[in-house]
Amino acid sequence: MLTESAPHYRQPLLKTPFHERAREWSQLDSFVPWSGYSTVDVFTSVEQEYFAIRNASSLYDLTPMVKYRICGTDALRFLNRLVTRDLSKLGPGKVAYVVWCDDAGQLIDDGTVFCIGAQEYRLCTGERQLDWLRASAIGFAVEIQEITEDIAALAVQGPTSCALLLRAGLTGIERLRPFEHGEFTLTRAGREPMSLMVSRTGFTGDLGYELWLRPADAEPVWDVLLEEGSPRAVRPVGSRALNMARIEAGFLLPNVDFISAAHTLYVGTERSPLELGLGWLVDFGKGHFTGRRALLAEQERGPRRQLVGLDVDGNKPAHNALLYSDRSARREVGSVSSATWSPTCKRNLALAMVEAAYVSVGSTVWAEIYLNRELTWQRRVVRARVVERPFFAPARRRSTPPALY
C-alpha cells in the first residue's frame, strides 16, 4: 500500500520548524519558496555567510528536502531498479548519492539514500517524486510514504562543525565517517536529552553534518548550537551563500544545472547522467534499472555534450554565458549554467555544458560575459579552461576524526 501526506498544493507556503528562529536572525527578511516551504535566501550578507561555511560553521535549514520512507521486503530491489547506482552493498548506517532516470535515460532528479535497516530506506530529494516512485513500485512489495513534514533537517557545515557538535553535547560524533549516519543523543545540563539522526553528508564539499530531528526538537537544537557557536562565528546561512559553496564543490543544482526530464517541455533540453558527468553513478553491471537500455545505447554512441568545470579568466562571474570555439565568438559550443567568483580558490569558476570536442581537461573555450558598469553595458569575450572538478576539496572533508579547530 502506498500512502501520501496531505496535498501540499492546497496549502500556502509552509513554515519550517526553524522559521521563528530564522526570522529572529534575518536582517533582510529575504525569504524564498522551496518545495512548498518558505526558506531564507540571505540572512545578513552573502559574503559573511559564505565565510561562515568555509572558515567556521554554518547552519542551513534543509527541512524542505523531500523525504520518503521506503520499506518492505522488496525495498532494496525497488531502489536498485529505480536508481542507476548499485545499492546492494549499502548497509545500515550508510548513505549514497544517487540519480534516477526516465525510460529514455534522462535525469529525473538526484538525491541521497539512507539505509536505515535491511528493509527500510530513506530517500531525500529536492522535488516531489511520489508519482514516479509509485510507477516504479509496480510489481514490488514496497511501501512508500512521504515523511517530509515529520522530520526537521539542519545542515551544520564548516571546518569547526565537528567541534561545534561535540561542544553541543553530541558525544561520539567525531567517529562518524563520510556517507555514514547514526543515532545520537544530545545531552545538555538543564535540558531533556534529545535523540536525533546525524549523517556526515552535505552540499558544501567541506567537513559537515546533517541533523535529522523531530520537529519539536528543532528550536532547542538550534538554540544549543548557536549558544555554543555564535561566539565562535557560527551563523545561520541562506541559500545564496550555500550556492557559492556548492559550485566550489562542483555539485549540481536541479533546475539550474539540469531540468528534470519530468518537467522539460522542449525536446532535447533534458540531460542524461552521462552528459552531466555522473557516469560514475551508472552501474551497467548490476542488472536492469529504468533507463539502462537507453543509457547503454548512449554510451555506445558517446554523449554529444558534457558538463564540465571551467576556470574563467578575470574575476567577473560568467553568469549564463554562451561559450564559443574561439575569441571571434562565431561558433557556439556550449553555455554556462552556474558561475561564481570563488573567494577561497581565488578563481572565477563556472559549470558549463559543452560539446563533446571540448570536454577534456585543458580544453579552451571562450565565454561571452556582459558587464554592467553603472548602467553602461560592456561585452567581454574571455578565455575559459576546462579544469578538474571539484574546484575545492579540502582534506578535512574526509578526515576521521576531524581536527577540532
Binding positions for other proteins, rule: CB under 8 A: 77, 81-82, 102-103, 132, 135-136, 138-140, 287-288, 290-293
Evaluate whether 286 touches 158 at the Cβ level (below 8 Å).
no
Q: How far is the CB of 300 from other proteins (least distance, A)?
A: 14
Q: Measured from the CB atom, is 81 or 246 closer to other proteins?
A: 81
**What are the φ and ψ backbone dihedral angles of 198, each rounded to 5 degrees?**
-125, 135
Counting beta carbons within 10 angstroms of the beta carbon of residue 18, is it exposed (0 to 12), middle (13 to 18) or buried (19 or more)? Answer: buried
Q: How far is the CB of 156 from other proteins (least distance, A)?
A: 35
Q: Measured from the CB atom, is 175 or 293 closer to other proteins?
A: 293
Report the alpha-carbon distance of residue 364 to residue 383 in Å, rounded: 7
Q: How far is the CB of 83 from other proteins (least distance, A)?
A: 11
Q: How far is the CB of 70 from other proteins (least distance, A)?
A: 14
Does residue 92 come out as left (phi exceeding 0), alpha (psi in the -120 to 50 range) or beta? beta
C-alpha cell at 382: 574571455
Distance of CA 231 to the CA centre of its chain: 28
Indicate the residue type of 317: P
Q: Measured from the CB atom, is 138 or 189 closer to other proteins?
A: 138
250, HSE (Cβ side, Cα atoms, 13 Å): 18
The residue assigned the cell 533546475 is 255
Q: How far is the CB of 325 from other proteins (least distance, A)?
A: 29
Q: Measured from the CB atom, is 261 or 323 closer to other proteins?
A: 261
Q: How many CB atoms lie within 10 A of CB 284?
A: 13
Q: How far is the CB of 292 from other proteins (least distance, A)?
A: 8
Q: How far is the CB of 138 from other proteins (least distance, A)?
A: 5
Q: How many CB atoms lie within 10 A of CB 189?
A: 5
Q: Measured from the CB atom, is 81 or 122 closer to other proteins?
A: 81
Does residue 268 come out as left (phi exceeding 0), alpha (psi in the -120 to 50 range) or beta? left
Going by C-alpha positions, the residue among 300, 348, 292, 357 that lies closest to residue 324 is 357
Strand order in the sheet with 30-34: 14-15, 37-42, 30-34
Evaluate whether 84 touches 289 at the Cβ level (below 8 Å).
yes
Q: Measured from the CB atom, is 54 or 128 closer to other proteins?
A: 128
Which residues does 139 contact at the CB level (< 8 Å), separation at least 6?
Answer: none
Q: Measured from the CB atom, is 79 or 367 closer to other proteins?
A: 79
Q: How far is the CB of 313 from other proteins (least distance, A)?
A: 42
Kind of pairing, strands 143-146 and 191-199?
Answer: unpaired
Q: How far is the CB of 80 from other proteins (least distance, A)?
A: 9
Q: Measured from the CB atom, is 102 or 149 closer to other proteins?
A: 102
Q: Measured from the CB atom, is 16 or 136 closer to other proteins?
A: 136
Report the alpha-carbon distance of residue 184 to residue 166 in Å, rounded: 11
